[in-house]
């Protein structure tokens, strides 16, 4: 993964080129103004994926922090069992 840097004038002059570059590489394009970093541009799909990965990391870090403080989660078998029970209740018309 290499960093893509372009002058900010490029987006005004070659929007389609920048958009294609973002979509084909999946990487952000850094725009400079007067030689200084100014903006970062990326396609929506890559942005959404990056956002979801960050949200997942935050959740995992929160769980790890809770565990380090002695907070235990619900075991997967117990969750699975409860879900099966709820599905069966719905099939049998039992309000939940």
Judge whether 27 and 42 are in contact, CB under 8 Å: yes
Would you call 36 helix, strand, or coil by DSSP? strand
Please check whether residue 61 lies inside any domain of the structure. yes
Q: Are residues 24 and 51 in the same domain?
A: no
Q: Are residues 62 and 85 in the same domain?
A: yes
- Comparing 95 with 14, which gets the higher pLDDT? 14
Whole domain around residue 66: which residue ranges? Answer: 44-90
Structure confidence by residue, pLDDT tens digits, 44-85: 999 999 999 999 999 888 888 887 887 777 777 777 788 888
Tell whether pTM > 0.75: no
% of the chain surpassing 70 pLDDT: 96
Return mean pLDDT, the chain: 86
Q: Are residues 34 and 51 in the same domain?
A: no
**Number of folded domains that form the chain:** 2
Please check whether residue 35 lies inside any domain of the structure. yes
DSSP H or E run through 38: strand 36-41
- DSSP lists the bridge partners of residue 6 as 31
């Amino acid at each position: 993964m290499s960093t893509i840097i372009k002058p900010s004038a490029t987006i005004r002059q070659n929007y389609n080129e920048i958009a294609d570059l973002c979509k084909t590489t999946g990487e952000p394009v850094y725009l400079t103004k007067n030689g200084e970093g100014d903006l970062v541009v990326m396609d929506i799909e890559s942005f959404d994926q990056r956002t979801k990965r960050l949200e997942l990391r935050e959740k995992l870090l929160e769980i790890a922090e809770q565990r380090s403080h002695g907070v235990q989660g619900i075991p997967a078998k117990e969750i699975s069992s409860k879900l099966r029970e709820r599905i069966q209740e719905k099939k049998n018309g039992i309000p939940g």
